[in-house]
Structures are given as structure tokens and as C-alpha cells.
Amino acid sequence: MTEFTEAQVRADVRAWLEANWNPGQGLVAWRNTLISSGWGVPTWPKDWFGMDLPAALAPVVEEEMQRIGAIGVARTGIRRLAAATLLAHGTPAQKEKWLRRSLSGEDTWCQLFSEPGSGSDLAGAMTRAAFKGNRWVINGQKVWTTSAHHADWGLLLARTDWDAPKHQGLTYFVIDMHQPGVQVHPLRQMNGHASFNQVFFTDAEVPPENLVADIGKGWAVATTTLMHERREADGIRTWGQGSKGKGRIYDEERAETQTVMEPYRWYPQRAGRVDLVIERAKETGRIADPVVRQEIARLLTLSKSAEWMARRARAAQLQGKPQGPEGSLGKLASSNVARLAAQVHTLITGADAMLTGEDGPMNGTIAEILVSVPAGSIAGGTDEIQKNIISERVLAMPKEPRTDNDRPFRDVPKNMVTAGR
């Protein structure tokens, strides 16, 4: 295919799918066939399982996949972040080792960034990586790590130089989560779920070939991961749900989705469940209250505005524009929508909103919304962090005064005592 036109792309992908799609085959086998064809990630480079297709034509491929009911490459969980990060920063050997297996769903991932003493201040990470013999040796602790309990590999940000300024002493690794020296413990949340984990590293090892980019360049790599993560955190996110078709491949995809998406089951509640507001107002009769109607209208207006902004960001993505601060705009908007939705649900339901389980409205869903919404303003960078990014990169306002950027990290005041000094 020498020319990329919508008609030609549609004809080519349709012909290929009609010749190769078979719902009776296994999920991994199909995905590997799809990956080898280039239609699995058509906008990727030809050297790495793509077709160099312009981003604006990617929806054409998705439409044809949906038309025939074909399953796509694995995108749920942290796999999409791992693949995007390694595609941008990985060595050829790393791409060869992990990209295909991430797209096929054979490998699962987790993101080892946040720490107990440096959640929002990611550059203040104190997990240590020291080169000993022919291995990097990792010691420290990470927290709020989704899916660490079943991940094969972790995206790890660790400190390799305590004498460099905080942003310059970090290095990015891929670490084997199944090795000795890696302990994963679930964290029980106040909404009853246990989606997150704390991870302890005690002399865990990373071979030098698992270093992503150069030593001390981890901040730039982590920024790529975070920008992809924040771009996903918008109001039109589609939560992983298995296909409803019949056949072996659909059964296997549903089983995969149930396992991978289990930690995310409460995320719709975290987003505020704007979709339930009108239904609840009618059920309770509160739709007749003019004050309630006014708040519902305000919520729906804000929600629709956030959706349009998210669509604008996705349009920029389809045009091939690089990841930018629009991810922070979308994430901050989604936090505002969620908080207002929690207020409106409380206004509609009253004191009964505090009842959980079978005793509560919608079997406790409303109560789960109220205790889940605050997480949206924290995960993936707090609202305050997003406001700083927007003020500096969008509004061109002066940066906040900092006293720690040019000092050796070992001399920077910290939230906890470390053993690495």
C-alpha cells in the first residue's frame, strides 16, 4: 500500500480481516497473527509491528474491527503504558523482548512510581538502585501500585545518584516481579476494594539490559509514561469489558478482562457516576425540586464540557501531535466532575447515601461513589500538581520557587529517614 487514503485503508483492512478472522481460534494465537500483519497497532512504525499509518486513519481500522467483531491487541491495565513507553524509549532488544508479548497479552505490567514519602513529588523517589558486580540491586518501597499482585514486569523509577539534583539522579528500569526480593502486599481501601499494593524490594536484581534510556535519564522516561496515563484519565474513558460474542476467542478475552480489570471495578464510582443522576432524581422524586434540577444541570454541563475537551485531546492525538499538558487539563476536569457528582448524589439521596451494602440505595453504589471520588483527585498526580502544570505550560505563568532542584539530593529535606545516604 503506497498511498494512505481512507478508502484504500478500509478496503485493505476489511479484506485482511475477512480472510483471517476466526472466533474459534485462541486469543493469543489470533493476536500474534494480528500483530504480525501490522493491523494491530497500525500507527506504529513498520519495524515494530505497525504500518506507519497516519494517526487520523486509525479510527478506520477500529471501525472495521468492530464491524466484524474482531478482538484487538491487549490494551487493558498498565500494558498500554508499558508499550507506549518502551516504543518511545526502549532499545531494539527491549522492544523485541516486550512489545509483542505486551500486545498479545502474554505479559502483564505494573507501574512502580509512587512512594510513601514522595507521592506527588515523584522526583523525590528514594528507592535505591546500586550497580554491584554485573547487576543493579534494588532496595526500597513503592506504594499505590495497581495490579502488582499479578504483574509479570514492573516499570520502576529508582535513584541511582544521591549527589545529583533530584530530577537528574533517577533511572528507569524494567524489573521482574516474580523474583526473590520482591514482596507485594495488598492495601485495603475504605470502599472495601483492594486495588492497590505496596511493594518492598530487598536486594532485588535488575540486569543492565533492563535499563530504559541512559543512567540518570529516568525522569524524561517517567514523564512519557505519565503523559500517556493522564491522557487516559478523561470523561470518555471506556472501561474494560469483555466482548459479548460466542466462540473460544471471546471466552478467553472475557476471562482475561475479568482478571486484568478486577482492580478497576470501582473506577466508574470514582468518576462520580454522572450517568445515574437523572435516574436517581426520578426514583426519589427529587427531580421536582428546582434546586436539585439546577445542580443536575450544572453537573451535566460540566460533564459535557469535560467530554468535549477530552475529545479535543484525542483529536490532537489522531493528528499525530505529541503528548502534552492537555492530559492535565482532562484529568483536572474529571476530578471536578466527580466531586460535583458526589455532591449532587448526596443532595438527591440525603442521609441514606451513607448506607452501604444491601441496605443502601442501589445496593450501596451511592455510598461507594461518595468514598471513592476523592481518589480521582490524588491518583496519577494530585489536582495541585495538575494546576501547576497547567499554569506553567499552558498559561506561561512563572514557576513556583524551588529550593531543591539544584542541590544534591542527599542534602534535600525529606519526609522520611532513608538508609541510602
Contacts of residue 230, defined as CB under 8 A and 6 or more positions apart, other chains included, come to 327, 328, 330, 331, 380, 381, 386
The rounded distance, in Å, linking the Cα atoms of 14 and 105 is 24
Pair 202, 288: CB distance under 8 Å: no
Strand runs labelled E in 177-275: 182-187, 196-206, 211-212
Q: What is the largest CA-CA distance in the chain?
A: 73
Q: Which has the closest alpha carbon to 189: 383, 384, 360, 378?
A: 378
Q: Which regions of the chain are under pLDDT 50?
A: 1, 234-239, 417-421
CB 77 within 8 A of CB 147: yes
pLDDT given for residue 322 in this prediction: 63
- Helix, coil or strand: residue 23: coil
The pLDDT score that the predictor gives to residue 155 is 98
| Domain boundaries of the chain, sorted by first residue | 79-232, 271-378
| DSSP conformational letter for 217 | -
Which pLDDT belongs to residue 236? Answer: 37
| Radius of gyration, CA atoms only, the chain | 23
Phi/psi for 142 (5° steps) reads -120, 160
The domain at 79-232 falls in which architecture? Beta Barrel (2.40)
Give Cα 405 distance to the centre of its chain: 27
| Burial class (CB within 10 angstroms; exposed 0-12, middle 13-18, buried 19+) of 81 | buried
pLDDT at 42: 95
Residue 318, pLDDT score: 62
Residue 355: CB atoms within 10 Å: 14
Distance CA 331, CA 386 (A): 8
